Structure 1
Amino acid sequence: MSVQAVVDTREHSLEDIELGSGRWKAKKLSWEHDAGRHVVSPSFATYAARILLNFDPSVASWWRGLQLTYALLPLEEQRSMLSQRFGSFAASIQASMDSFIVEEMQVNNDTKTAWEKLFSRYIEKYGDSDAALRQICILFSILPMSEQPLEHIQQYKSSIKPDTNIDQAINLDSFFNDYSALLPGYYGCQISANASSYAIFPLIDLYEIGINEEFGQAVTATTFGPLSSIALSRDLLDYSLDIYALFGVSGATGCALTHSVVIPLDVLKTKAQTNPEEYSDIISGVSRVVQEEGLQGLLTGAQATLAGYFWYGLSVYPSYAFFKRFIGQSLLPLDFSALHTNDIALISGALSAVIASLGLTPLEAARIRVVADPNRYKPLGLLGTMKTIVSEDESLGWKALYAGLPALMTRQVIFGSIKFLAFERACDAIFMNWPSLRDLTWTALGVSLVAGAFSGTVSSVVSQPADAVLTYVAQRTDTKGNLSVIEGCRLMIEESGVTALFRGLGSRSLWAAAIIAGQFLLYDVFRNAFGVTADDLTQVYTLKL
């Protein structure tokens, strides 16, 4: 069913399109006309896109690349991805034609002249075969009666030899399921009885139906395929160091602020793990801390917490963005990456957690000591506590600060990889069901808050055993030596049973839900405040006719 007139097998890019000058622009364009009042109809834009898929080498090459990229996906998912890309490409075509027609109208004050010029452009670039001429005439027959270039269509239509080798009874199902297909050869255009306009013949229903919940955006369904409300876009090929720096500052600010709010929960969680008999639940734990240490006791270890999670945010967010892009776009083939997006997110989260753990471990060791034994360590301050830990075992020295590294890294790798994956999938699910939430900044930030709370809860449950072992190892380093994760886990179970691995789960889940929700929310807030919006991280395809 597809004409497949393009035989050039060389690789081309969309920038090389023959119809005009294709460009990827770093920011979304502001069109001169309202989004809902296009000059070019959805049916014209989608069939124009099909013609380009067949007769323009650059567009055909781009489409073949997409088909190869998604070839390993399940059929339904493959079709969904291609539908999204086709709809967005058609939106770029529509916008470029809108601009062309509006500009020509301003010069000639005549819409029909503008369409005649566009018709001539198509003939000049692609009209070197009967198949192409037929399809171009069909395309311009879609225009309203008053705008059709009648003489031009008549001139080229009369030179097309009839195709007598096509089965008239051919089924159109494959045409509707293949966006690179064109109407078969027995379709053409026929002038009306009063010679006032052309129409596609045999007759075909040119429906245009608005759909508000497709691809997470408004879409118009047409006979020839979907037309998206958002033009074709792609991720920036390279992030500059400035972008990564702003990711880091946004993450550091967000993490430090959120952890400062939930320090009391962190204190209760640590006390429940180090002294379970006296801190069995949140309410009694709060009462006991206030009774013994005053209200300031709920802020024990604040210095270490703020310093540690400032570093955590500074390192984990830019490194996650880097690893996800590097693995998905440079290290692995695109088709394999498309099939394993969840795996790439998990690996990227794990690698970023490893980097964060290197700076977080000494500060976490100091925090746990201060919370577990405030009378001894609190007066020393953060640096004094770290010096004391180093001096407690001369054989270990500075390595004592990293006694909990295996356990903390295990916890952070599990927590970090699940956190990013759960957050992204939760956002996808919410926007898929309520796409209008993308439209306003405050609703989009609300989605980040909800998805972050879900992500934090899931991550805390999965990583809880590692967190319990980390606390145990950090507390017992001075008496048990440099314990490994496995050894610490074994000793905990021997002393207190398997339930010891889940001490403090309630307060930690509440802590994680609150902190990760706030973390993602503030990260998005500060990232937008610093000018790093979604539009700044993508390029939008435009075409100058």
Structure 2
Amino acid sequence: MSEKSKQPRKIELYSKEFYAACTVGGVVACGPTHSSVCPLDLVKCRLQVNPTLYKSNFDGWKSIVRNEGFSKIFTGIGATFIGYSLQGAGKYGGYEFFKHQYINSVVSPELANRHLTTVYLCASATAEFLADIMLCPFEAIKVRQQTTLPPYCNNVFQGLNKLYSTEGLGGFYKGLVPLWCRQIPYTMCKFTSFEMIVQAIYRRIKTPKDQLSSLQQISVSFLGGYLAGILCAIVSHPADVMVSKINSEKKEGESMVQASKRIYKAIGFGGLWNGLFVRIVMVGTLTSFQWLIYDSFKVKVGLPTTG
């Protein structure tokens, strides 16, 4: 076999194969990582709804294992895996697509290169807007499972059937607006800060990116992802609290604005920051590993790392 035939076939940038690879990379990066922190997310969501429920994360896990059984610390993992796999597909694949489209179709490449931050913000916002439409039904099931005792349902499919039979299609999207309010700023911050942090790291290194090994480039992605994740957690946390509260406490016939006003009046500004430290740890870890997995996948299929 010739040396040429042994080399992996490179995927042409911005081709259909390129976007397909990025979409699959988003699934691989988001589904497993979000599922892995499900026990942490469970305690976080319950504390957002009732801050007095547990004294700490460890107290929460001990209480759940003692009163509900060990398996219950993974409550909501099915909805989490399916929902965030779909969201990852739309978010990462969509970001790559819209970033390229905005640079080459909406404005001239020369102008876009002078305003890359705006391109990153617009591309990530568009991708997340669409990705959340796929995520929302599963997020609704997850939050109900995690914040009701006894749990709302035993598995994601039972939950989908129960929610549809009791609330109709609207029940799946009751939390879409607050989800957009949480996820769109989060993703805009996640992708834009990542791109800028990675660029700053490469400028600091001074060695051209294409002269660095794949391992070195992926390490930059991991570090950039963690720093970006901390910023994401802070920016999106108040909306994250409202998503949990609205999904579990919104009254029949109450509009989103009415529910938000009522809940804010009850919890105040300070209540919007319940569970922030836990979310910083969770989101920072999530974001760093998502970029690590995503860029490792891209390298594996013959694509350059992001940034």
Match of 1:464 among 215, 219, 237: 237
Q: CA–CA distance in 1 between the matches of 2:44 and 2:88?
A: 21
Q: Which amino acid aligns with 1:284?
A: D
- Determine if the alignment matches structure 1 residue 302 to structure 2 residue 77: yes
Q: Do the aligned partners of 1:472 and 1:488 also contact (CA within 8 Å) in 2?
A: no
Range with greater deviation from structure 2 (327-336 or 500-509): 327-336
Identity %: 28
Q: Do the aligned partners of 1:260 and 1:305 also contact (CA within 8 Å) in 2?
A: yes
- Determine if the alignment matches structure 1 residue 481 to structure 2 residue 280: no
Aligned to 2:158: 384
* Deviation for aligned residue 1:297: 2.0
Match of 1:509 among 273, 277, 280: 280
* Deviation for aligned residue 1:364: 0.1
* Deviation for aligned residue 1:419: 0.4
Aligned to 1:265: 40
Task: Report the CA distance shift for 1:475/1:481 in structure 2 as closer, same or farther (over 3 A).
Answer: farther
* Deviation for aligned residue 1:488: 3.2
> What CA RMSD, in Å, does the superposition of the two structures yield over aligned residues?
1.9
Q: Do the aligned partners of 1:403 and 1:483 also contact (CA within 8 Å) in 2?
A: no
Q: CA–CA distance in 2 between the matches of 1:414 and 1:498?
A: 19
SS at 2:263's partner residue?
A: helix
Aligned to 1:373: 148
- Larger Rg over CA atoms: 1
Q: CA–CA distance in 2 between the matches of 1:456 and 1:480?
A: 35
TM-superposition CA deviations, 1:187-242 (whole Å, max 9, x none): xxxxxxxxxxxxxxxxxxxxxxxxxxxxxxxxxxxxxxxxxxxxxxxxx7x72111
Q: Which amino acid aligns with 2:39?
A: P
Q: CA–CA distance in 1 between the matches of 2:52 and 2:208?
A: 46
Q: Which amino acid aligns with 2:297?
A: F
Q: Do the aligned partners of 1:419 and 1:459 also contact (CA within 8 Å) in 2?
A: yes
1:2-17 alignment runs, 5 A limit: none
Aligned to 1:103: none
TM-superposition CA deviations, 1:23-52 (whole Å, max 9, x none): xxxxxxxxxxxxxxxxxxxxxxxxxxxxxx
Give TM-score scaled by structure 2 length: 0.90
* Deviation for aligned residue 1:264: 1.3
Aligned to 2:113: 338
- Determine if the alignment matches structure 1 residue 417 to structure 2 residue 191: no
Count of residue correspondences? 293
Aligned to 1:455: 228
Task: Report the CA distance shift for 1:431/1:493 in structure 2 as closer, same or farther (over 3 A).
Answer: same
Match of 1:493 among 264, 273, 279: 264
Match of 1:431 among 202, 206, 211: 202
Q: CA–CA distance in 1 between the matches of 2:208 and 2:31?
A: 28
- Determine if the alignment matches structure 1 residue 442 to structure 2 residue 215: yes
Task: Report the CA distance shift for 1:244/1:482 in structure 2 as closer, same or farther (over 3 A).
Answer: farther
Q: CA–CA distance in 1 between the matches of 2:259 and 2:244?
A: 10
Match of 2:102 among 304, 310, 327: 327
TM-superposition CA deviations, 1:270-309 (whole Å, max 9, x none): 1111221113532322222222223222211000000011
Q: Which has the higher strand share?
A: 1
Q: Do the aligned partners of 2:48 and 2:275 also contact (CA within 8 Å) in 1?
A: yes
Q: Which has the higher helix share?
A: 2
* Deviation for aligned residue 1:415: 0.5
Q: CA–CA distance in 2 between the matches of 1:283 and 1:436?
A: 44
Task: Report the CA distance shift for 1:342/1:494 in structure 2 as closer, same or farther (over 3 A).
Answer: same
- Which runs of 5 or more structure 1 residues have no equivalent in the other structure? 1-235, 538-545
Q: CA–CA distance in 2 between the matches of 1:244 and 1:507?
A: 34
SS at 1:384's partner residue?
A: helix
Q: Do the aligned partners of 1:271 and 1:371 also contact (CA within 8 Å) in 2?
A: yes
Q: Do the aligned partners of 2:214 and 2:299 also contact (CA within 8 Å) in 1?
A: no
Q: Do the aligned partners of 1:263 and 1:299 also contact (CA within 8 Å) in 2?
A: yes
Task: Report the CA distance shift for 1:437/1:522 in structure 2 as closer, same or farther (over 3 A).
Answer: farther
Q: Which amino acid aligns with 2:253?
A: G
1:110-509 alignment runs, 5 A limit: 239-373=14-148, 375-379=150-154, 381-393=155-167, 397-436=168-207, 438=209, 439-477=212-250, 479-481=251-253, 483-484=255-256, 486-509=257-280
Task: Report the CA distance shift for 1:298/1:520 in structure 2 as closer, same or farther (over 3 A).
Answer: same
Q: Which amino acid aligns with 2:290?
A: Q
Q: CA–CA distance in 2 between the matches of 1:326 and 1:383?
A: 37
Q: CA–CA distance in 1 between the matches of 2:272 and 2:258?
A: 13
- Which runs of 5 or more structure 2 residues have no equivalent in the other structure? 1-11
Q: CA–CA distance in 2 between the matches of 1:481 and 1:474?
A: 14
Aligned to 2:295: 524
Q: Do the aligned partners of 2:14 and 2:100 also contact (CA within 8 Å) in 1?
A: no
SS at 2:14's partner residue?
A: coil
Q: CA–CA distance in 2 between the matches of 1:412 and 1:474?
A: 15
Q: Do the aligned partners of 1:324 and 1:345 also contact (CA within 8 Å) in 2?
A: yes
Q: CA–CA distance in 2 between the matches of 1:324 and 1:309?
A: 21
* Deviation for aligned residue 1:322: 1.1
Q: Which amino acid aligns with 2:14?
A: Y
SS at 2:99's partner residue?
A: helix
TM-superposition CA deviations, 1:244-286 (whole Å, max 9, x none): 0110111101111211221111111111112211135323222
Q: CA–CA distance in 2 between the matches of 1:294 and 1:374?
A: 13
Q: CA–CA distance in 2 between the matches of 1:374 and 1:306?
A: 22
